[in-house]
């Protein structure tokens, strides 16, 4: 690398030479203009043009296959006009300011030219500099016509709409066929017609046992139970196959199998990956939702609408669980890799999440690569860049909040029971407290006050508590004037300074603030309500002012409060009075972040003011789009906090605290005010102290009387907010008895309360979405940029789906209107894409072999008419997945044998015409589940939280712990899908990494799989489990046992030589292992037999 000085030195000296030359011309002829002989054109022709031709024309001329950066360098007008930046590439006379020269010098990385190559030799660069300095003479005349992008795109767009998958679904005529006996239904006629025209025939039907096994795996992902095989084999009725389908379609395991397919499409994971692999908030409830949805054959449009806009639909309630299914479904949008932090920490966090959602929405539901249009109009499909930002606007107008999904409140009766106990307790406590505040009571409040010692500070600060007033009285008792003056100052200041933003003492919080959760629902209280402790020696936790508190009945009930969106252009200062404990969080949520790192976990046992400023994010200052930030405030208990548990150690939360369901907070009011002018304690509760002052007062008596009258009001249910403060003050000072032990009746009531409280059912929550009618359009990101913007784009409109659907309200996100358009039968994609997925899962390949892409980059359907027939029929049949599956598996096409006719293979090697039903390797989950089932270890329980997968090494920092080796016998669908480390055994067999839609799994065939099957402890454990069971099977001979084993593993009757062969291995194994005695009793030999069966290809493949 030459040092810079030398380079510029060269440049200078060359420039000097040229200057001399030019000057010479100037002075010797009539003038510069006429100096043709050496006006630089020759220099251009000899030094510049050849270089341009050699190094630049490939991408920057009329001959370029694709004109890069819209820059032409084969005409003078080309560099004058410049490229897409719109800036001329050369500033004649100023090399340093000329982008072309800068690019040649590699001054800026991004635009270094020629691209991906070293700089051109210095001597060439110097020539160019000289040429520019002399005014860039250029003889190449001609006009550059800028393409009219808008008009061109419109033509292109219209052309692209003319594409098979965007045309309406037709109702094709079922073709005639020659082999009339073969078809069982219309599917077969479509298939056979094509086979016949290719001169091919379908292969014969597979044998019955093969068919049962095939159907069982296809519908439930499990091997058939032996009785089912025998029953079907013995059933000669024409209905037998249909009946078998019914049994398996009705099996609860059907939902597990088909939910797992859908989980590939939406890339289901239980965590969010990246650095900390934080949990995806209770995602498993969504997995259970999927299982229920498939089992109940939820019509597909409803299924789609719930996942995209379930929060906006009438709740659909599952009767068995009482869950609001539609509100559970939008977890779909949130699945995938999601960073922690927000756009104010690192620009792009939010945009990346949205990009992933758009990618999934496009591929999963529309078979369209929408996300390709983030940076530019789609290269091949009818997707505009505007479409991308239109969907982005819709998603960014949605809040990604945790939600309570209980459709019905299971706690009403317990709460009325608790209410009654509280009523009695209030009476009992009042009795005790009045006794304690009796002025003649020895050891009562009077004595306790007297025992409070003075300290040095008493005289300086204005007293705000019982203790401080007492201490003050010991040095210089306060006068009424002094008190009143201060009180009035405070009242006046509050009146002047504060504007009420939200009032949680009312049924509807004002100002658009909202709450969620059972805790909040039952948490609206009047002044003087109190909270009973759920453990320990104290009876009361505290007394509450009017407001909404999640823990009024129990700390296990959930709550959240959200503010409306703040105006990002003018930050608001406000104070919120709240109390909180046990890791309830307070956080600003910026740009819809789901794992915000702004959480604080305030521990605030009594309500107090906290002053906050919206939009006070220093890292946003000076960014170009501060005004577009979306900011709101959220308070939430653990279970309604998206980001709980947060990453390990965040906010000082100890890992052992995570499982504790208790968490609480409550809010009274929110005031807006100027910075510094915070709400002041008005001290009205102390006013009576200064009524009728006599001179020489007994302050202990006065304070006691003050407390006593307060207790009297509390007892009568008539106390005020100020009274509440005084009571809490007294409780803190232990002036009022609050020990359970102090009174038998109180002890009994508190115990009763605690017992009943434990029967309350906490909210079932999940990460979902919410709609606040605060929709706003997104701006188009120039070339996908996060910081350079074009116009705002109308949200909720993907153009190829038709006219913009009308939003429910102008300010809604547009999700509901959009999803209605998606599932409208006039949109041809939704049904086509889905029936193709179902076909793919049943047949191993789709009719369209790129199930996630029906665009120009995907494959065309092998049987377009059949695809349309199925889509049409699917819609006619009420979009029933089960009917569709039944139609397909009852076809003769699906019942073909798996071995192809060699002649057919020659003509159609990829089996695009379906001349046989190809053998397939079982999916990862089916391999594992089959081992569980055959060994007898399978636990058929449905639903529930994810089971940690088995691991050899743990990583506590990412909460990757070691689960049970056999997953407690549960099916693979219940194993925890951590993004950081999904179950390894499943990954080896191509369970996809859940980051993006995978409609079609890889099927690899690598030695790792052999190693796993030979040596993985899970496989060995299942072999052992099976063999242990076999030892007690009461079999009469090893042959019988082997026959039984092969029958249950392969669902067929083994040949005698197979039995002999496995028997030989079993004996051989017993010998090799030195096991003596009866073979039937030799556990290890049978374990070896079981192990080889698990390794047999016939076990691992389905024919």
Closest CB to another protein among residues 336, 814: 336
Q: How far is the CB of 148 from another protein (least distance, A)?
A: 26
How far is the C-alpha of 975 from the C-alpha of 40, rounded, in Å? 75
* Footprint on residues 884-903 left by another protein (CB under 8 A): 898-900, 902
* Footprint on residues 916-935 left by another protein (CB under 8 A): 919, 921
Q: Could you tell me if 879 and 862 are in contact, meaning their C-beta atoms sit under 8 angstroms apart?
A: no
How far is the C-alpha of 44 from the C-alpha of 46, rounded, in Å? 6
Stretch that binds another protein, among 158-166, 242-250, 312-320, 1014-1022 (CB under 8 A): 1014-1022
Residue ranges of alpha helices (H) inside 963-1037 are 984-988, 1007-1015, 1017-1030
* Footprint on residues 39-68 left by another protein (CB under 8 A): none
Please report whether residue 603 would count as binding another protein according to CB under 8 A: no
Q: How far is the CB of 135 from another protein (least distance, A)?
A: 31
Among 408, 741, 1010, 1060, binds another protein (CB under 8 A): 1010
Give Cα 945 to chain centroid, integer Å: 17
Q: How far is the CB of 56 from another protein (least distance, A)?
A: 16
* Footprint on residues 236-275 left by another protein (CB under 8 A): 273-275
Closest CB to another protein among residues 116, 1032: 116
Q: Is the peptide bond before 645 cis (omega within 30 degrees of 0)?
A: yes
How far is the C-alpha of 606 from the C-alpha of 674, rounded, in Å? 25
Stretch that binds another protein, among 159-167, 608-616, 668-676, 975-983 (CB under 8 A): 975-983
452: number of Cβ within 10 Å:
17
Closest CB to another protein among residues 545, 858: 858
* Footprint on residues 319-378 left by another protein (CB under 8 A): 337, 339, 346, 348, 352, 355, 369
Is residue 310 exposed (0-12), middle (13-18) or buried (19+ Cβ within 10 Å)? buried
* Footprint on residues 753-782 left by another protein (CB under 8 A): none
Closest CB to another protein among residues 221, 336: 336
| Number of residues binding to another protein, judged by CB under 8 A | 85
Task: Dig out the tokens for 10 from the structure.
Answer: 């060269």
Closest by CA to 366, choosing from 797, 796, 851, is 851
Q: How far is the CB of 624 from another protein (least distance, A)?
A: 12
Closest CB to another protein among residues 486, 1058: 1058
Stretch that binds another protein, among 23-31, 214-222, 659-667, 1012-1020 (CB under 8 A): 1012-1020
Q: How far is the CB of 1004 from another protein (least distance, A)?
A: 3
Among 237, 416, 952, 1032, binds another protein (CB under 8 A): 952
Among 681, 1016, 1028, 1047, binds another protein (CB under 8 A): 1016
* Footprint on residues 1051-1090 left by another protein (CB under 8 A): 1058, 1061-1062, 1065, 1068-1069, 1072-1073, 1088
First-residue to last-residue Cα distance in the chain: 65
Q: How far is the CB of 380 from another protein (least distance, A)?
A: 7
Among 238, 536, 622, 1034, binds another protein (CB under 8 A): 622
Cβ-proximal residues to 1081 (8 Å cutoff; 6+ apart), any chain: 1031
Angle, CA 473 vertex, CA 467 and CA 477 arms, to 5°:
135
Please report whether residue 1096 would count as binding another protein according to CB under 8 A: yes
How far is the C-alpha of 929 from the C-alpha of 932, rounded, in Å? 5
The DSSP secondary structure of 443-479, one letter per residue, reads TSHHHHHHTPPP-TTTTTSPP-SHHHHHHHHHHSPPP
Q: How far is the CB of 390 from another protein (least distance, A)?
A: 22
Please report whether residue 195 would count as binding another protein according to CB under 8 A: no
Q: How far is the CB of 849 from another protein (least distance, A)?
A: 7
How far is the C-alpha of 379 from the C-alpha of 857, rounded, in Å? 10
Q: Could you tell me if 690 and 483 are in contact, meaning their C-beta atoms sit under 8 angstroms apart?
A: yes
Q: How far is the CB of 109 from another protein (least distance, A)?
A: 5
* Footprint on residues 521-560 left by another protein (CB under 8 A): none
Closest by CA to 518, choosing from 564, 546, 540, 551, is 551
Closest CB to another protein among residues 956, 1076: 956
Among 8, 158, 239, 957, binds another protein (CB under 8 A): 957
Among 118, 675, 676, 1056, binds another protein (CB under 8 A): 118
The DSSP secondary structure of 177-220, one letter per residue, reads -S-TTS-SSHHHHHHHHHHHHTT--PPPBPPHHHHHHHHHHHHH
Closest CB to another protein among residues 730, 960: 960
Cβ-proximal residues to 81 (8 Å cutoff; 6+ apart), any chain: 72, 88, 144, 146
C-alpha distances out from residue 203 to 209, 904, 910, Å: 17, 10, 15
Closest by CA to 864, choosing from 841, 835, 890, is 835
Closest CB to another protein among residues 881, 896: 896
Is residue 475 exposed (0-12), middle (13-18) or buried (19+ Cβ within 10 Å)? exposed
Q: How far is the CB of 1025 from another protein (least distance, A)?
A: 15
Among 201, 996, 1035, 1083, binds another protein (CB under 8 A): 996
* Footprint on residues 632-671 left by another protein (CB under 8 A): 648-649
Q: How far is the CB of 106 from another protein (least distance, A)?
A: 8
Q: How far is the CB of 506 from another protein (least distance, A)?
A: 41
Q: How far is the CB of 155 from another protein (least distance, A)?
A: 22
* Footprint on residues 821-860 left by another protein (CB under 8 A): 849, 853, 856-858
Cβ-proximal residues to 63 (8 Å cutoff; 6+ apart), any chain: 57, 74
Closest CB to another protein among residues 417, 1095: 1095
Task: Dig out the tokens for 547 from the structure.
Answer: 């407001």
Among 5, 416, 570, 618, binds another protein (CB under 8 A): 618
* Footprint on residues 369-428 left by another protein (CB under 8 A): 369, 380
CA atoms 527, 529, 533, 534: torsion sign: negative
Q: Could you tell me if 388 and 778 are in contact, meaning their C-beta atoms sit under 8 angstroms apart?
A: no
Closest CB to another protein among residues 919, 1079: 919
The DSSP secondary structure of 493-560, one letter per residue, reads HHHHH-EEEEETTSSS-GGG-EEESHHHHT-EE-TTEEEE-SSSSBSEEEEE-SEEETTSS-TTS--E
Stretch that binds another protein, among 134-142, 385-393, 873-881, 976-984 (CB under 8 A): 976-984
Among 955, 968, 1028, 1039, binds another protein (CB under 8 A): 955
| Residue 11: its H or E element | helix 4-28
| Three-class DSSP category at 791 | strand
Closest CB to another protein among residues 388, 504: 388
Closest CB to another protein among residues 118, 695: 118
- Residue given tokens 């099916």 in the structure block: 971
Stretch that binds another protein, among 109-117, 178-186, 678-686, 941-949 (CB under 8 A): 109-117
How far is the C-alpha of 199 from the C-alpha of 191, rounded, in Å? 12
Q: How far is the CB of 13 from another protein (least distance, A)?
A: 23
Among 431, 984, 1029, 1040, binds another protein (CB under 8 A): 984
Q: How far is the CB of 118 from another protein (least distance, A)?
A: 5
Closest CB to another protein among residues 198, 317: 198
């Amino acid at each position: 690398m030459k040092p810079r000085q030398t380079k510029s030195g060269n440049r200078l000296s060359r420039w000097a030479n040229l200057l001399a030359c030019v000057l010479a011309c100037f002075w010797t002829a009539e003038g510069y203009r006429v100096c043709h002989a050496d006006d630089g054109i020759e220099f251009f022709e000899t030094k510049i043009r050849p270089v341009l031709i050699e190094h630049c024309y490939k991408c920057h001329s009329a001959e370029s296959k694709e004109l890069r950066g819209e820059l032409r360098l084969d005409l003078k007008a080309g560099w004058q006009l410049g490229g897409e930046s719109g800036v001329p590439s050369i500033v004649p006379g100023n090399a340093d300011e000329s982008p072309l020269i800068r690019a040649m010098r590699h001054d800026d990385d991004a635009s270094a030219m020629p691209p991906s190559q070293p700089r051109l030799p210095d001597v060439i660069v110097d020539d160019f500099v000289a040429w520019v300095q002399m005014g860039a003479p250029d003889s190449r005349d001609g006009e550059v016509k800028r393409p009219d992008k808008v008009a061109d795109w419109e033509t292109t767009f219209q052309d692209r709409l003319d594409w098979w998958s965007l045309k309406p679904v037709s109702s094709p005529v079922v073709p005639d066929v020659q082999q009339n006996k073969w078809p069982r239904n219309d599917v077969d006629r479509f298939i056979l017609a094509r086979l016949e025209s290719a001169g091919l025939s379908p292969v014969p039907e597979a044998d019955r046992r093969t068919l049962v096994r095939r159907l069982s795996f296809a519908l439930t992902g499990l091997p058939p139970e032996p009785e089912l095989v025998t029953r079907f084999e013995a059933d000669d009725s024409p209905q037998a196959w249909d009946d078998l389908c019914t049994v398996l379609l009705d099996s609860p395991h059907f939902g597990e199998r088909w939910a797992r397919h859908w989980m590939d499409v939406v890339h289901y994971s239980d965590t969010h990956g990246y650095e900390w692999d934080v949990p995806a908030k209770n995602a498993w409830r969504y997995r259970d939702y999927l299982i229920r949805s498939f089992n109940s054959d939820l019509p597909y449009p409803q299924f789609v609408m719930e996942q995209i806009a379930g929060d906006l639909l009438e709740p659909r309630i599952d009767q068995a669980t009482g869950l609001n299914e539609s509100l559970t479904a939008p977890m779909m949008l949130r699945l995938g890799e999601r960073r922690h932090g927000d756009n104010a920490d690192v620009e792009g966090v939010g945009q990346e999440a949205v990009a992933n959602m758009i990618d999934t929405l496009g591929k999963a539901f529309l078979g369209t690569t929408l996300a390709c249009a983030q940076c530019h109009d789609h290269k091949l499909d009818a997707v505009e860049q505007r479409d991308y930002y239109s969907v982005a606007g819709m998603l960014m107008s949605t809040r990604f909040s945790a939600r309570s999904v209980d459709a019905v409140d299971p706690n009403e009766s317990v709460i009325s029971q608790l209410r009654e106990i509280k009523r009695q307790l209030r009476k009992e406590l009042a009795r005790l407290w009045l006794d304690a505040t009796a002025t003649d009571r020895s050891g009562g409040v009077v004595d306790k006050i007297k025992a409070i010692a003075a300290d040095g500070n008493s005289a300086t600060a204005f007293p705000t508590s019982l203790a401080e007033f007492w201490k003050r009285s010991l040095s210089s008792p306060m006068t009424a004037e002094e008190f009143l003056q201060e009180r009035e100052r405070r009242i006046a200041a509050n009146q002047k300074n504060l504007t009420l933003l939200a009032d949680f003492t009312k049924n509807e919080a004002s100002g658009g603030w909202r709450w969620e959760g059972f805790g909040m629902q039952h948490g609206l209280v009047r002044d003087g309500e109190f909270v009973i402790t759920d453990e320990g020696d104290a009876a009361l936790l505290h007394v509450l002012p009017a407001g909404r508190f999640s823990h009024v009945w129990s700390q296990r009930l959930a709550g959240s409060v959200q503010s409306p969106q703040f105006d990002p252009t003018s930050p608001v200062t406000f104070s919120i009075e709240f109390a909180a404990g046990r890791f309830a969080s307070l956080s600003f949520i910026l740009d819809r972040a789901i794992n915000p790192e702004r959480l604080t976990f305030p521990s605030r046992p009594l309500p107090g003011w906290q002053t906050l400023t919206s939009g006070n994010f220093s890292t946003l200052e000076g960014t170009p789009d501060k005004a577009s930030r979306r900011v709101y405030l959220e308070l939430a208990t653990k279970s309604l906090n998206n980001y709980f548990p947060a990453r390990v150690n965040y906010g000082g939360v100890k890992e052992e605290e995570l499982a504790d369901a208790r968490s609480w907070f409550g809010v009274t009011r929110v005031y807006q005010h100027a910075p510094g002018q915070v709400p002041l304690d008005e001290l009205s509760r102390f006013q009576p102290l200064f009524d009728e002052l006599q001179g020489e007062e007994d302050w202990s008596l006065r304070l006691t009387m003050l407390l006593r009258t307060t207790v009297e009001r509390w007892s009568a249910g008539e106390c005020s907010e100020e009274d509440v403060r005084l009571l809490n003050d007294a409780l803190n000072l232990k002036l009022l008895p609050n020990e359970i032990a102090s009174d038998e009746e109180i002890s009994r009531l508190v115990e009763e309360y605690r017992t009943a409280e434990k029967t309350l059912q906490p909210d079932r929550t999940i990460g979902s979405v919410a709609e606040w009618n605060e929709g706003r359009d997104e701006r188009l990101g120039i070339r996908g940029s996060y910081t350079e913007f074009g116009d705002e784009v109308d949200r909720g409109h993907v153009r190829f789906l038709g006219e913009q659907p009308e939003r429910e309200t102008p300010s809604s996100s547009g999700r509901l209107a959009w999803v209605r358009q998606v599932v409208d039968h006039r949109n041809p994609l939704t049904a086509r894409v889905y029936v193709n997925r179902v076909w793919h899962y049943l047949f191993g390949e789709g009719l369209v072999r790129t199930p996630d892409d029906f665009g120009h980059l995907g494959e065309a359907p092998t049987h377009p008419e059949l695809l349309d027939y199925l889509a049409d029929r699917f819609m006619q049949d009420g979009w029933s997945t089960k009917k569709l599956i039944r139609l397909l598996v009852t076809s003769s096409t699906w019942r073909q044998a798996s071995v192809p006719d060699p002649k057919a293979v020659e003509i159609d090697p990829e089996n695009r015409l379906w001349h046989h039903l190809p053998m397939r390797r079982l999916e990862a989950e089916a391999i594992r589940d089959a081992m569980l089932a055959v060994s007898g270890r399978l636990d058929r329980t449905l639903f529930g939280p994810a089971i940690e997968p088995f691991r050899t090494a743990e990583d506590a920092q990412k909460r990757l712990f070691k689960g049970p080796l056999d997953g407690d016998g549960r099916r693979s669908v219940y194993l925890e899908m951590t993004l950081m480390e999904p179950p390894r055994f499943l990954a080896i067999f191509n369970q996809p990494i859940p980051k993006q839609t995978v409609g079609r799994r890889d099927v690899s065939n690598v030695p790792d799989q052999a190693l796993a099957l030979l040596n993985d402890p899970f496989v060995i454990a299942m072999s052992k489990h099976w063999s242990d069971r076999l030892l007690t099977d009461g079999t009469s001979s090893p042959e019988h046992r082997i026959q039984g084993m092969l029958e249950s593993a392969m669902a067929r009757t083994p040949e005698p030589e197979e039995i002999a062969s496995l028997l030989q291995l079993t004996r051989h194994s017993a010998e090799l292992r030195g096991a003596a005695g009866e073979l039937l009793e030799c556990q290890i030999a049978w374990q070896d037999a079981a192990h080889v069966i698990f390794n047999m290809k016939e076990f691992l493949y389905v024919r």
